[in-house]
Structure 1
Amino acid sequence: MKSSQTDLIIVGGGIGGLSAALAAAEAGKTSLVLERAPQFGEVGAGIQLAPNATAVLKRFGVMEEISKVAVFPKRLVLKDVYTANELSAMDLGEAFKARYKHPYLVLHRSDLHRILLEACKKTGMVRFKNNQTIETVKQEHDVVSVYSQSGEMFTADAVIGADGLWSKLRKYFVDDEPICSEYVAYRGTIPISEISNANLDDVVMWIGPYLHLVQYPVRRGELYNQVVVFKSYNYKANSDDWGTPEEMDRRFKGCHPDVKNALTFIQRQIRWPMYDRLPINNWTKGKVTLLGDAAHPMLQYLAQGGCQALEDASYLADMLKKYPDSYEQAFADFQKERLPRTAKVQTSARTWGEILHTEDPVATLLRNTIFEQRTPQDYEVADFLYSYDKTTKQIN
């Protein structure tokens, strides 16, 4: 059995885990990031980062590199999947930046992950170890130990679980399971040159009953990201035999020609069932805490999963600096602030999913009427997400 000592162990090397490592480094703490995969990287395609996330990227000193590969869209647009009517739009220009102080951007997840990984390495305070599936955590005396599937043990002064939706460390706090929404996503990127009618200025979301399609450019505008989401007709618990490409075609039957064309470019080999969990009332115990999707996994309808992980990391940095000699107090205050905030975003994401995907004609009429009455610079609906200002204090 092998033992390794460091200030912090971070379980999970995704966006949340690497952000936590940057937070620890800013607070003068060394960390060991344990990642299950054989190498560090991100699976998926595009990611949207709103001002509440780009504020954190600026804080951690990576916005310059991010800007080299990101796209800064001009608008967020909702369209009817059948008629192509524009139901609502949000202007992301000067008025938006004046209100929220930071930009809205989109980029490839692998680009974000690479830049965060490079930033961690530059600190000289973060070590990495792959092929580590961590099963359990144990606190005793003044150390915390985590145990891998292969029998290895790693010890540190404290542990942060950033191991995602299927977190093993979450079981240390609660015996719950991910909840399947019965929706599935197909996603991928294609060269811009392959799309003749691509909208390169906007993030476009086509919506309809039990479905939506999101489109936007990434990687300096060289690639076009597309995500198709729909509710399965044949959901089967504990099975992969649902949410098939054939169901996709059936669900999108009769949609606008632009959407039909988009579906021909969708990669159909890999499906992503969409899960979340219910908010919990505690994710901290002594010198162990959770962060990101391990603490508050949410549906993607507000594009806030990665944003909330970044918020977590920034506020955690402040608490580690405020209580340099007490992980218990730092983690407790971290949770006190972050738990109600993330619970609200989790539940709001579910609600917005129901609003966007409603099949009820009365609800659809009401939704569209409200949407159409908005002006592009009516930002009130987004204030609770984008105006969050408790992640950039940088307590000394």
Structure 2
Amino acid sequence: MTHILIAGGGIGGLATAVSLARNGHRVTVLERRDTFAEIGAGIQLGPNAFHALDRLGVGEGVREQAVFTDELCFMDGTTGEKVAGMELTQAYRDRFGNPYAVVHRGDLYQPLLSACQGLDAVELVPDASVERYEQSATGVTVHTTDGRVFHGAALIGADGIRSTVRAQMLGDGEPRVSGHTIYRSVIPIEKVPEELRWNTVTLWAGPKWHFVHYIIGGGRYLNLAVTRDNGATVPVAGREAERDHVLDQFPGIGTTARRLLELGEGWREWVLCDRDPVPAWTEGRVALLGDAAHPMLQYAAQGACQALEDAVVLGEVTETAREDDLVQRLEKYNALRRERAGRTQLIARRMGSELYHPAGERAKERNTMLSALSQRDMYEKVSWLHGDRAFTDSGTGGER
């Protein structure tokens, strides 16, 4: 049984552990924090994420806490008018083979953690921050910051956008700062007036800002995420933000959107970052995965979805792999995933600048374009992304 090390015990790292273990490997997951847990708020899962979760054997566990939304609504954030809506009901589910849902990040993480804990081939090691690695023709040695040493046949860097493994492999510096600041709040649903409890993912688009909200936690909470294109240049992660400061960032916001925004409490802020796509995520016996490989802005709602796809592909292409052919299998994983993930990175950027944040005439042109789309048109536009269930069956993925 081949032993593979994973740096990072987040969603991508645990999904990879499950995938590798179920495809015949022994796995050790090294997590820098002192516990295996997921912080954060809401997350959107397209049908492609559920295809991956089902392959990993945890799809039903995630579905139990998911909220299956009826529609993706695009609203004009200043006038309050509905511009367009993509229905996510039966026709969508028939087309793409799975639903679109929203969950709390913890409700995605916990089934993956439980799956890892139930697999004898998975070892979870907390408080193990990776400092560096060394590799030879036969294996990889990982050194942690507290002086421990771990050996394996390969190392998967699933340690996030500021990946230590990536820094050593690619040396490409700090992530790109987008200039956008996102403020997040999660509030109990009982604090939300009934007329505002919409079973939709709703996006209000304004000049240099947008506001997204949806219900999570099996209906127990409302997730609020509001983004301002404010030219921020310094990364921020999870800093507390005063309620009045958040409200002051969005002058001109329409009445209904303002009512929803005013419900927020306990706001925290992040300055969003990503990286340019790169062609190579592997170096010998070391490979990157998820945000370590292809960090993307949240605007396509695909960061976790793409990490789950990575995990499935990596597990399946390394099935039956011996220690002497792991390098070639990792290169195949890279080749199968880089085009799709890189395209998604760039689409996410474009959505922020061209779709969500225009003002004046550009906003009017966008509204005209979106309002002219039929449901069929909308499904066609997202089919390459939401409809992918091929994963390892071809080099480009795609609906089948």
| 2:277 matches 1:279 | yes
SS in structure 2 of the partner of residue 214 of structure 1:
strand
Q: Distance in 1 between the 2:161 and 2:113 partners?
A: 21
| 2:184 matches 1:187 | yes
The structure-2 alpha-carbon separation of the partners of 1:73 and 1:242, relative to structure 1 and needing over 3 Å to count, comes to closer
SS in structure 2 of the partner of residue 204 of structure 1:
strand
Displacement of 1:247: 5.4
Q: Distance in 2 between the 1:243 and 1:232 partners?
A: 15
SS in structure 2 of the partner of residue 37 of structure 1:
coil
Instruction: State the partner residue of 1:223.
Output: 221
TM-score, length-normalised on structure 2? 0.92
| 2:350 matches 1:351 | yes
What CA RMSD, in Å, does the superposition of the two structures yield over aligned residues?
A: 2.3
What does residue range 1-396 of structure 1 map to in structure 2 within 5 Å? Answer: 7-176=3-172, 177-196=174-193, 197-232=195-230, 235-236=233-234, 248-321=246-319, 323-325=321-323, 326-378=325-377, 379-391=379-391
For structure 2, which runs of at least 5 residues remain unmatched after alignment? 395-400
Q: Distance in 2 between the 1:319 and 1:238 partners?
A: 37
- Contact between 2:88 and 2:100, CA under 8 Å: does it hold in 1? yes
Q: Percent identity?
A: 35
- Contact between 1:186 and 1:267, CA under 8 Å: does it hold in 2? no
- Contact between 1:48 and 1:105, CA under 8 Å: does it hold in 2? yes
SS in structure 2 of the partner of residue 123 of structure 1:
coil
Displacement of 1:238: 8.6
- Contact between 1:50 and 1:105, CA under 8 Å: does it hold in 2? yes
Q: Distance in 1 between the 2:224 and 2:177 partners?
A: 22
TM-score, length-normalised on structure 1? 0.93
The structure-2 alpha-carbon separation of the partners of 1:42 and 1:242, relative to structure 1 and needing over 3 Å to count, comes to closer
Q: Distance in 1 between the 2:46 and 2:313 partners?
A: 17
Q: Which moved more, 1:178-187 or 1:11-20?
A: 178-187
Displacement of 1:68: 1.3
Q: Deviations over 1:221-275 (max 9, x none)?
A: 1111111111226645799999976653333112112222222232455211100
The structure-2 alpha-carbon separation of the partners of 1:241 and 1:185, relative to structure 1 and needing over 3 Å to count, comes to closer
Q: Deviations over 1:307-345 (max 9, x none)?
A: 000010111121011645521111000000101111100
Q: Distance in 1 between the 2:171 and 2:157 partners?
A: 15
- Contact between 1:178 and 1:276, CA under 8 Å: does it hold in 2? yes
Instruction: State the partner residue of 2:397.
Output: none
Q: Deviations over 1:278-314 (max 9, x none)?
A: 1112110111100000000000000000000001011
For structure 1, which runs of at least 5 residues remain unmatched after alignment? none
SS in structure 1 of the partner of residue 57 of structure 2:
coil
SS in structure 2 of the partner of residue 84 of structure 1:
coil
The structure-2 alpha-carbon separation of the partners of 1:55 and 1:324, relative to structure 1 and needing over 3 Å to count, comes to farther
Displacement of 1:171: 1.6
SS in structure 1 of the partner of residue 319 of structure 2:
helix
- Contact between 2:205 and 2:357, CA under 8 Å: does it hold in 1? no
Displacement of 1:131: 1.2
Q: Distance in 2 between the 1:12 and 1:240 partners?
A: 19
- Contact between 1:208 and 1:356, CA under 8 Å: does it hold in 2? no
1:391 partner letter: F
SS in structure 2 of the partner of residue 281 of structure 1:
coil
Displacement of 1:102: 1.3
SS in structure 2 of the partner of residue 220 of structure 1:
helix
